[in-house]
Structure 1
Amino acid sequence: MTPYFRELGHSDLIQINRWRNTPETVAQLGSAFRFVGMAIDEKWMEHYLSSRSNNVRLAICDSTTQQLVGAMYLLNIDWLHRNAECAIWIGETEAQGKGIGQQAMRRLLAHAFDDLNLHRIYLSVLSNNIRALNLYKKIGFSEEGKSRDAIFKNGSYDDLIQMAILSNEYHDLGTI
């Protein structure tokens, strides 16, 4: 499957809300499962639209079916220090494990470094999310630290691994 990317919009909220209310989808994310009402997601979208100057939220879509399969974000963009947090999730189960996340992350980094002129992109990932850890290392992220027992999920605590990539590291890899 070849993905294409576009800005998230109101029409995506039904799908995103479905993913956010699916425990298996939320299991690998750095937040606890909570039921999320559509009104909350509508407010989330309105907040994003009012803060677009410091956030980028993109839809990951299947180019054949036009179906939304995931989302990726650049959050809290700091224009002075030229850094931002990134996040990604592939919400559609049938789209997971097919390389879409890698293609999406490479495109997000290209946008961050080449279009927005950012210098550092950072993220946090659950220590037991081996697939994501391997992906991030493969595309050039380095581990910077660990927050021990930082997240309580499914009855136990888990560590969060902090990772980042700098623009020169990204360009040295010839990532895209």
Structure 2
Amino acid sequence: MIDLSALREKPTLAGERVNLVPLSAEHADDFFESTRDEEIRRLTGSHRRPDHDEVREWCATRSDQLDRLDLAIIEEPGGRFVGALALEDLDADNESAGYRIALSAIEFTGQGLGKEATRLVLDYAFDRVRLHRVWLHVYAFNMRAIAVYRSCGFTVEGRLRDALLWDGRRHDALIMAMLESDFRRAAD
């Protein structure tokens, strides 16, 4: 049985190169800037561009969400905001949740920051929340993200054909997931 209090706690998770902290109003300006980066928008399939007030309100209300966990990714040392992640779409009956991560700028890719952040939140998801399954979707053209997810223990479970229309072209999305047992094997 999952522990819903673990989603309500909004923990800080410390790693070697990143800390995951509760996403809040203090991250709104940096988060807003990330919604303006064209390549990040393409990689996440984000067509809509929220205005600054929407982003500020969204960030400010994350701690009120008791059935999901939104965390800011903070680079250490230095304390720079490098992105955000979430455990969302909780299905308590099936001990499952979705995972989403977005780095805030292309300059942060390829450095292992997203991989470390993913491993930190997966450890929390399986050990503290006690989930059985964590799933995500990633666009098939995002080969770097797919490689990172595979290295963390995710496997491809399926394909959503033509799930994204971007600049007149259609792209598939891959459904990837990890079971608790996959995570334990990858950690050994």
TM normalised by structure 1 equals: 0.92
Secondary structure of 1:31's aligned partner: coil
Identity %: 27
1:80 and 2:114 matched: no
Asked whether the 8 Å contact 1:57–1:74 carries over to 2, the reply is yes
- Find runs of 4+ consecutive structure 1 residues off by over 6 angstroms: none
Unaligned runs of 5+ in 1: none
- The residue number in structure 2 matching 1:40 is 54
After TM superposition, give the deviation of residue 62 of structure 1 in Å.
1.2
Secondary structure of 1:54's aligned partner: coil
Task: Output one character per residue of 1:108-141: Cα deviation in whole Å (capped at 9) or x when no partner.
Answer: 1001001110110000000000001111111111
Letter in 1 for 2:59: M
Whole-angstrom distance in 2 between the partners of 1:174 and 1:50: 32
1:20 to 35, 41, 59: 35
1:91 to 104, 117, 121: 104
Whole-angstrom distance in 2 between the partners of 1:44 and 1:155: 30
Asked whether the 8 Å contact 1:17–1:41 carries over to 2, the reply is yes
RMSD: 1.5
Whole-angstrom distance in 2 between the partners of 1:94 and 1:129: 16
Whole-angstrom distance in 1 between the partners of 2:156 and 2:55: 32
After TM superposition, give the deviation of residue 87 of structure 1 in Å.
0.8
1:9 and 2:24 matched: yes
Asked whether the 8 Å contact 2:23–2:62 carries over to 1, the reply is no
Asked whether the 8 Å contact 1:21–1:36 carries over to 2, the reply is no
Whole-angstrom distance in 1 between the partners of 2:60 and 2:80: 22
Whole-angstrom distance in 1 between the partners of 2:61 and 2:19: 24
After TM superposition, give the deviation of residue 89 of structure 1 in Å.
1.2
Secondary structure of 2:111's aligned partner: coil
Secondary structure of 2:86's aligned partner: strand
